[in-house]
Chain A
Amino acid sequence: MEDSILKVEDLCYSFHTYAGEVQAVRGVNFSLKSSESLGIVGESGCGKSVTAKAIVRLNSGTSGFCKRGTIQFDGKDMLSLKKKELLNVRARDIRMIFQDPMTSLNPTMKVGRQITEGILNAFPKMKNAEAKRIAIETLENTKIPNPEQRFEQYPHQFSGGMRQRAMIALALAVNPKLLICDEPTTALDVTLQAQILELIKDLQKVYNTAIIFITHDLGVVANIAKNIAVMYAGKIMEYGSAEDIFYNCKHPYTWGVLQSVPKYDADASIPLVPIPGTPPDLFNPPVGCAFAARCPYAMEVCRKAEPPQYHAGEKHTVSCWLYHEMSPTVVNPITNKEVTL
């Protein structure tokens, strides 16, 4: 933990709305070492994007506010950072890639200019020509053909996949310490998804960047993330290495998610198993475990009190009452073994 570049502790983030306070993130803890990758997985509205944006305070234009918790990045307290320092961190150290490449580039500015703008903002003393050289080099690294020509083009002359590559180039051109990918492949078709994932994975090695990868698709993070946090209703339900999550997962929610992922070799006649019900209302989060209402293993205690966090391995943690010593024994539907820590 000593050398962790990012440390998020007990982060609670809420939004004021006319209907009241939405508790989007309700106590999230994780840390990330430099050049490591973390996947945050969860369904829509579970707070994964809010968590990521909170790191660089990109939610602050909205009605959102940080209720509790700390975010330490590279020895800096991100939540109390002065505006100017915050902009410096955004410019140089933490860059983001967003979900929809069709709308995340400015349509009236040349792509090259958008990249050099970011570079020059991070390194104000750099000469324009040097920034342009770096931009073209980065475009080349993201496997965009004819980068010199593409540099002079507008976003509407790029296809969706090319735009996402340009976004990646825009983010990586300053060689940031942390790259936050907020569902970067969700808006792309499947073949492009694979290419973009491959690209991000390759570039991580080249640029030696730490990555937070947000997605609702477990299949996507399997490929890219070393550690995975499974989020539900603003909380991390289970955290562990990719192996822990895929081969030895502990939380009933993770089981549900894994069971609802289609397998390429599955018999077509076997229906997918969905998780019944809908996520809880975050205006009034449930008192006990947020997943209790949809959990087939829910016990009396699950509805009354929040489960403690159990350590199942070196990094592997799980928040579920099933691991209490007094709980009944159940069978893990993924491994078909009785659950133990």
Chain B
Amino acid sequence: MLKYTLRRVASLIITLFLIATVTFFLMNAVPGDPFALDRDTPQVIRDSLDQRYGLDKPVLERYVIYMGRLIKGDLGMSMKFKGQTVIDKVTTTMPVSIKVGLGGVILGVFIGVIFGIIAALNNGKTFDFIVIIAAIVGVSIPNFVFATLFQRLFGVTLGILPIFGYKGFLYLILPIFAAAMQNIAFYARMLRSSMLDVMNQDYIMTAQSKGLTRRSVIFRHTLRNSMLPLVTSFGPMLAGVLTGNFVIEKIFGIPGIGNAMIMAIQGSDYMMIMGLTIVFSFISVVMYFMVDILYGIVDPRIRIS
């Protein structure tokens, strides 16, 4: 187990290093720089800014300097907003992003699982068909479409919920539902098919042959086994809690980490792009790692080797 953990940590460091390197050079390959403004800036000011932020040096040298700082844990300062450190930005934007992301996941799993179960239990009947069709539609339509639809319906037509900004819980309801839509569709489909699969297993017939009622068979034997594939999807799901809602944050004007990332990219805020990318990657990799450990706890048959 210790060996396994060490190996995972080593691979985590290599992954982060590669991501940082690739991002650094790609970002520099994109036209424009932090100080390229629409209005004319005197060359002197530009030069002095470049010098101050080290942008006058060749790319390779800047790369070495950046990586050197990164190893010390210094993610640097924003190039656009004075006095704003990357770490500050992460810590101020993360909480609201987690609220939207986690809310979307929890709501999505909850509603999706219930729909999936009811559909499986009514296999071949009307409700089943409605769920299948709705799930296909839900998976196919991108969440920003739902986001704008919700804004129109609940914000403009019905006028019951705020649609922009973040000044309290009410402002999170629409973003969370928009973020949940694809999860609902995804988990409804997954649960339905895994439940139908489990219902055809031999051990379900064993349970029926013991004279258990339909309810006992479902609750004691079918459900738990149908939930197992759910665990497998935790990894991508948890990693997506923070990184999955860029567009939704942007549409609803939620000051989250995704929104910060989009702003950084739009403004070529090099330090911010690098820093946020590394934080995102770190979170994703750590989440996957945690889920791998979790598997072994949830399903005793899975052994980490």
- CB pair A91–B210 under 8 Å, yes or no, is yes
- Chain A 94-108 per-residue mask, 1 if CB under 8 angstroms from chain B, else 0: 011011100111111
Q: Does A122 sit within 8 A of B, measured CB to CB? A: yes
| Contact residues in B for A106 (Cβ distance below 8 Å) | 203, 206-207, 221, 225
Q: Does A88 sit within 8 A of B, measured CB to CB? A: yes
- CB pair B206–A167 under 8 Å, yes or no, is yes
- CB pair B203–A95 under 8 Å, yes or no, is no
Question: Could you tell me the dominant secondary structure of chain B's interface residues?
Answer: helix
- Chain B 37-62 per-residue mask, 1 if CB under 8 angstroms from chain A, else 0: 00000000000000000000000000
Interface residues on B, range: 20 to 34
- CB pair A107–B203 under 8 Å, yes or no, is yes
A107 to B220, CA, bound (A): 12
- CB pair B206–A98 under 8 Å, yes or no, is yes
Choice from B206, B208, B224 contacting A108 with Cβ under 8 Å: B224
Q: Does A74 sit within 8 A of B, measured CB to CB? A: no
A245 to B208, CA, bound (A): 34
A87 to B208, CA, bound (A): 8
- CB pair B301–A117 under 8 Å, yes or no, is no
Name the residue on A nearest B210 (C-beta): A118
| Contact residues in A for B199 (Cβ distance below 8 Å) | 61
Q: Does B201 sit within 8 A of A, measured CB to CB? A: yes
- CB pair B208–A90 under 8 Å, yes or no, is yes
Q: How far is the CB of A5 from chain B (nearest CB, A)?
A: 18
Q: How far is the CB of B287 from chain A (nearest CB, A)?
A: 25
Q: Does A154 sit within 8 A of B, measured CB to CB? A: yes
| Contact residues in A for B203 (Cβ distance below 8 Å) | 103-107
Name the residue on B nearest A90 (C-beta): B211
Choice from A104, A108, A154 contacting B205 with Cβ under 8 Å: A104
| Contact residues in A for B206 (Cβ distance below 8 Å) | 96, 98, 104-106, 114, 167, 170
A122 to B209, CA, bound (A): 11
Q: Does B18 sit within 8 A of A, measured CB to CB? A: no
A100 to B203, CA, bound (A): 10
Among B203, B216, B220, find the residue whose CB has the most chain A CB atoms closer than 10 A: B203
- CB pair B210–A104 under 8 Å, yes or no, is no
Residues from 108 to 140 in A contacting B, C-beta threshold 8 Å: 108-109, 114, 117-118, 121-122
A88 to B212, CA, bound (A): 9
A47 to B211, CA, bound (A): 23
Name the residue on B nearest A153 (C-beta): B300
Q: Does A92 sit within 8 A of B, measured CB to CB? A: yes
| Contact residues in B for A154 (Cβ distance below 8 Å) | 300-301
- CB pair B202–A92 under 8 Å, yes or no, is no
Residues from 42 to 94 in B contacting A, C-beta threshold 8 Å: none
Name the residue on B nearest A157 (C-beta): B300
Name the residue on A nearest B227 (C-beta): A108
| Contact residues in A for B208 (Cβ distance below 8 Å) | 58, 61, 90
Q: How far is the CB of A27 from chain B (nearest CB, A)?
A: 25
- CB pair B225–A56 under 8 Å, yes or no, is no
- CB pair B225–A91 under 8 Å, yes or no, is no
Among B211, B216, B300, find the residue whose CB has the most chain A CB atoms closer than 10 A: B211
- CB pair B211–A121 under 8 Å, yes or no, is yes
| Contact residues in A for B221 (Cβ distance below 8 Å) | 106, 109
Q: How far is the CB of B215 from chain A (nearest CB, A)?
A: 11
A264 to B193, CA, bound (A): 48
Name the residue on A nearest B208 (C-beta): A58
| Contact residues in B for A108 (Cβ distance below 8 Å) | 224-225, 228, 299
| Contact residues in B for A95 (Cβ distance below 8 Å) | 209-210
Q: How far is the CB of B231 from chain A (nearest CB, A)?
A: 12
A108 to B207, CA, bound (A): 13
| Contact residues in A for B216 (Cβ distance below 8 Å) | 121
Residues from 52 to 94 in A contacting B, C-beta threshold 8 Å: 56, 58, 61, 87-92
Q: Does B213 sit within 8 A of A, measured CB to CB? A: yes
A117 to B203, CA, bound (A): 13
- Chain A 135-171 per-residue mask, 1 if CB under 8 angstroms from chain B, else 0: 0000000000000000000101000000000010011
Name the residue on A nearest B199 (C-beta): A61
Q: How far is the CB of A189 from chain B (nearest CB, A)?
A: 19
Choice from B210, B225, B228, B300 contacting A121 with Cβ under 8 Å: B210
A313 to B300, CA, bound (A): 57
Q: How far is the CB of A121 from chain B (nearest CB, A)?
A: 6
A87 to B215, CA, bound (A): 12
Beyond A95-B210, A108-B228, A118-B210, 17 additional pairs, beta carbon < 8 A? A87-B212, A91-B210, A91-B211, A99-B202, A103-B201, A104-B202, A104-B206, A105-B206, A106-B207, A106-B225, A109-B221, A114-B206, A117-B212, A121-B212, A122-B211, A154-B300, A170-B206
The 6 lowest CB-CB distance pairs between A and B, nearest first, are A91-B211, A90-B211, A118-B210, A103-B202, A104-B202, A96-B209
Give the interface of B toward A (CB within 8 A).
Answer: 199, 201-203, 205-213, 216, 220-221, 224-225, 228, 299-301
22 A/B residue pairs, CB under 8 Å, sorted by A: A56-B209, A58-B205, A90-B209, A92-B211, A95-B210, A96-B206, A100-B202, A103-B201, A104-B202, A105-B206, A106-B207, A106-B225, A107-B301, A108-B228, A108-B299, A109-B220, A109-B221, A117-B210, A117-B212, A118-B210, A118-B211, A170-B206
